[in-house]
Structure 1
């Protein structure tokens, strides 16, 4: 196929990457930890953690996990916010030969229960703020090993104690819970230190599983995207090559500092902040609670930041805050916008305020995180999603699976070394999205112009984008359908200036009338069963839903009705 997009590549960016340069993600990370051992790996709440300490701490955790009898390839859930513990846990799990399963710490008990059961998890590393949620989930899904982390872990004895007291006693972030047998995270590291001599480094290969990244389904619960070691290595190589022209503008001798405000449990933050930062020898400025915009800006004002991966809602929130004027943005050389569409007004205001253009990209969990990106040497907002990354091919297909001409809308199909192996234990769903020749059918509708630049025009899967997070209507509808008094329901997205889209639920009461459930009932039900960003912010009651002649609910008609 003609790869017209290669002409858009900045000078020095290769068309392919050497995907076999490391046999595994662990080999790549081991080398980086050794090479950069005297550098800071992360900064969090004023505390720096060096690569050497990250190396040692993660090996301690790996030794502890192996001592519990966890065998190579078994799954460990990591349910942590953006703290040094997240990096230690991730590396420790991988270096023990195990599989990382990222879970949002804000998940409901129902959501956590599903992941634990579906992944067949043997262990979990959980923040104490989510311990009550885990307690509920464990009533239905027994788990053999629970490691309990606290916000102040690895921040030093004095600062750590203060942070923990503030979280528990002042801000009341830690609900009451009972987890008999749970092992404190720091105690596991201490025991792992004594077990280090017995730690065996597993001989992992490119086809071993590294990560199960759970992503929602359009008609049911979330499913695990299987990412092998070679997929993650390839994506890191692609990303490093693509961002290199921008990062080359950092003054010699300065270590790259990346803002870690996006949640690291999300595919975008995990791969493009946590792992890429470690691979390139950079330092990540970890922000445990980026929702506090003022506090985030005060943190940024104390540092010279070079790279800022974010989402439209985050950039827009920062621009609205008065503290934005107190940050020195002169060191910023790279801003990546992903997760949801960047609005032209936000892009223009951001460039005017910071002097650094927002560079928009496109990706999905099924391709690790990234598929396309605008060239990072662009000085302005392009309005499109860029071109395929090195080694990646993109075609647009019609309903019959035939390639459409340039300028014609079609389903985005992707082939490249970062494309997943499939969905965990779901061969039928895998077969529906993986076409012959290794092509992944994304379910998104796009248009590609003659130079190979991609533009997204529709969401075939009815995805709702809330602050960069994907909300799948089917999952929310499944929760609502279980609510007493609900006959049927439909969930759609409605535009919102702050977060991109809001979740709207259209509910038909049993019998088509009555006053219960009411809006407060629906909100309470969803609060108990859904993560915050998935909960409907708009609730409408109708006597019936619009349907096709075969009884399918017409979400399009609901969107058009407003």
Structure 2
């Protein structure tokens, strides 16, 4: 692909006042340097709020340093991978800071994974240790023997809540019964690890920009989840890009108010990881942790307790909040940025959100492979554009054909991205990396888009058969590989269908080998092997599947047939 000149960046003429064309990712050597600057600069400010309790930057600094010392005391080597499998609880950001400060690589894990999915990720990443909330410890118990994991740190919802934590844990364990029985011999409790770390020496490693910071797992076209290798410099770049992009809105926050963001998106998802946790750290903001965004009444109850300025969310969450009768009990007047990402924002939802809050949804676009933000609508916009916006500072986007040549403006082509936030490649998969990353740094997204004369991009289709459920990538091959193992299934195909709640949902078409096979049997089989958002919403039985002359299943035909 040829080099892009300034003339090829029409979007720069439409940047809001004060937003730079470029950022300098070299101003920090690592995320560790960024975090430690914030620990010093904002020591007395609250960094996190959770269930009514706050932790200052100083407290996060001290706890993460102790935890880093504990991890080092286990004999882990520099660059070893450490997994974190938790919802949005304060132990999450503390564990992340500890892992990075100790010189290790963070592996973000979805806590809703089944044992099959968890086993793959732990084996593929080579994780030697894991922080896991006890609610999901039974999942780890089922697969730990087959993984390289040697050290388990067990967390509980109330670990850091003092006396209140005893009540919280009692309710979680015995009233709501959210902790299934488990046995993990040798596991160490989070507070025990903290106490041991406070007595242990800590050696500060020199972490540099090209060291690996995070393995962010994303579905593969082959159905195998791959780890996007995000370097410290990739994530620093995206934090600074996001800060520069949001600056016009941030400037309108009164000096007397601490910038406050609601973190309802899961931190294991790269969107919340960068735009909530790391950006909040960089700007000295307070992050309000929402442990379960599906519990809409609880989310609204929590929001009533805060003056907040930033709300990153996916379309499904915006919509669910709008449809709840308690929506107007929250004070939305201080909201400056409503950031929509992870999936397409629906125009009807955006219209209602603007009417009810006075703050338009600013839709952006990115992928795990781009740390994630690559494109966004201006935060100064007064209305919903229906596009993914334009490339953010230091980022280039173009639409290309199958040979990598740029297509004319207004012509659909595969979106390719180049910028300092683009991953180094896929973990130990040079073959897969070569398919998507060119020698001169362009990443092929698999999304088909068009660019208009202003440099705004719009996604029109998907090159690959990926299904996007509430912001999560679901790959048909993975579902088909699982269902094909179900007794009584001759063959099957999974496709995405429109869904008003989740954007898309999974539809499974099955050809029976055994006439006695039922929908209930397939659902039960999937429940044990696939996390919730991957499970088929619609199951249809047919006598045969449409195929090409060489026998390839025509998924598009299954999608088009209602």
The TM-score, its normalising length taken from structure 2, stands at 0.98
- For 1:293 and 1:352, locate their aligned partners in 2 and report how far apart those are by CA, in whole Å: 20
The equivalent residue for 1:482 is: 485
1:392 to 380, 390, 395: 395
**2:417 pairs with 1:414:** yes
* CA contact 2:126–2:148 (8 Å) conserved in 1: no
Cα offset, 1:142, TM superposition: 4.5
- For 2:402 and 2:150, locate their aligned partners in 1 and report how far apart those are by CA, in whole Å: 47
CA RMSD of superposed structures (Å): 0.9
Deviations 1:433-478 (A, max 9, x none): 0123110011110000111000000011122111111111111111
The equivalent residue for 1:521 is: 521
User: Helix, strand or coil for the counterpart of 1:220?
Assistant: coil
The equivalent residue for 2:171 is: 166
The equivalent residue for 2:539 is: 539
- For residues 415-494 of structure 1, the aligned pairs below 5 Å read 415-494=418-497
- For 2:353 and 2:22, locate their aligned partners in 1 and report how far apart those are by CA, in whole Å: 32
Deviations 1:134-170 (A, max 9, x none): 00011322521000000111122x1111111110011
The equivalent residue for 1:100 is: 106
The equivalent residue for 1:182 is: 187
User: Helix, strand or coil for the counterpart of 1:403?
Assistant: coil
- For residues 6-17 of structure 1, the aligned pairs below 5 Å read 6-17=12-23
- For 1:49 and 1:474, locate their aligned partners in 2 and report how far apart those are by CA, in whole Å: 43
- For residues 60-99 of structure 1, the aligned pairs below 5 Å read 60-99=66-105
Gaps in structure 1 of 5+ consecutive residues? none
Deviations 1:236-256 (A, max 9, x none): 110000011111111112101
* CA contact 2:128–2:148 (8 Å) conserved in 1: no
* CA contact 2:127–2:148 (8 Å) conserved in 1: no
- For 2:329 and 2:61, locate their aligned partners in 1 and report how far apart those are by CA, in whole Å: 36
**2:56 pairs with 1:50:** yes
* CA contact 2:46–2:54 (8 Å) conserved in 1: yes
- For 2:455 and 2:157, locate their aligned partners in 1 and report how far apart those are by CA, in whole Å: 45
- For residues 119-518 of structure 1, the aligned pairs below 5 Å read 119-156=125-162, 158-195=163-200, 198-510=201-513, 514-516=515-517, 518=518
- For 1:245 and 1:166, locate their aligned partners in 2 and report how far apart those are by CA, in whole Å: 43
- For 1:474 and 1:413, locate their aligned partners in 2 and report how far apart those are by CA, in whole Å: 24
Deviations 1:510-550 (A, max 9, x none): 2xx5121x111111111101111111111111111111111
The TM-score, its normalising length taken from structure 1, stands at 0.98
How many residues matched?
556
- For 1:183 and 1:278, locate their aligned partners in 2 and report how far apart those are by CA, in whole Å: 28
User: Helix, strand or coil for the counterpart of 1:380?
Assistant: coil
- For 2:148 and 2:141, locate their aligned partners in 1 and report how far apart those are by CA, in whole Å: 10
- For 2:148 and 2:140, locate their aligned partners in 1 and report how far apart those are by CA, in whole Å: 10
Deviations 1:464-501 (A, max 9, x none): 11111111111111111122222211111111111111
Cα offset, 1:63, TM superposition: 0.1
Deviations 1:187-242 (A, max 9, x none): 000000111xx201110111100000000012222000000111011111100000
Cα offset, 1:298, TM superposition: 1.2
